[in-house]
Amino acid sequence: MPGHVRIGGAWKTVGSPSVRVGGSWKSVSAGFTRVGGAWKQWYTSVVPGNFELIETQTMGGSQSSLTFSNINSTYGTTYQHLQIRYTARSSRASADPMIIQLNGTTQTKSVHMYGDGSNANDGNGGASYAILFAIAGANLPSQAFGAGIIEIVDPFETTKFKTIRSFSSAPTEAVSMDTAFWSTTSAVNTIQLSTFSGTNFANGSRFSLYGLRGVNA
């Protein structure tokens, strides 16, 4: 959670104020910090929440895939669910789906319902990979990015197969709801996203991973 420090009459944003208590970090919402020899008050505008930013990856234009790694080993006891929020485009000539892989496997499958402005459709994403529709392609203006929200439900529970939900749009071209299924009870430790075409994500494409805490986390 960002905080704010008042310097020279203006509030400046600072990152995630926390204090270490008994060996663990605790979020705090107000306090004082010493700036230029003087104590300045700071505060955070919200109370600690249960939806937390874990990591953001921003593409430089030379990657066709990205991976969030060590998720279970780092966060498996902290979060109940995961969410990825992204804006992205690829070098493909038209809207480009993405492939999602959990733990590096190709066993995921998907179904989807989508509209393209003329027709509503549904279908299978493929037998050996999970497709999420869609990010913007090179046919759209260079500033136009597709966007999506991917949710992975109970990724760390070892008694359940894993279900992925995605809601995405390649703007003015397609909107899609996708469900992917990973038939293993293994906890999710890596998530890989890649363009279906194999072309690179455009410079500035960004992917942010969030965790949602459970009641006992």
Q: Which of 52, 151, 154, 157 binds another protein (CB under 8 A)?
A: 52
Window 135-164: residues binding another protein (CB under 8 A): 141, 143-149
Is 76 an interacting residue with respect to another protein (CB under 8 A)?
no
Q: Which of 48, 50, 26, 1 is nearest to 212 (CA)?
A: 50
Cβ 37 to another protein, closest distance in Å? Answer: 28
Copy the structure tokens of residue 70. 């060590």
CB-count burial class (<10 Å; 0-12, 13-18, 19+) for 43:
middle
Minimum CB distance to another protein smaller for 107 or for 179: 179
Residue corresponding to tokens 């090179």 = 138
Total site size for another protein, rule CB under 8 A: 56
Q: Which of 152, 175, 188, 191 binds another protein (CB under 8 A)?
A: 175
Contact 64, 199 (CB under 8 A): yes
Q: What Å distances lie between residue 103 and 10, 28, 190, CA to CA?
A: 46, 35, 5
Is 32 an interacting residue with respect to another protein (CB under 8 A)?
no
Q: Which of 172, 183, 185, 217 binds another protein (CB under 8 A)?
A: 172
Task: Compute the Cα dihedral for 191, 196, 201, 207 and give only its sign.
Answer: negative
The residues that touch another protein, with contacts defined as CB under 8 A, are: 1-2, 13, 15-16, 18, 25, 27, 45-46, 48-54, 56, 75, 78, 85-87, 113-120, 122, 141, 143-149, 167-177, 204, 206, 208, 210-211
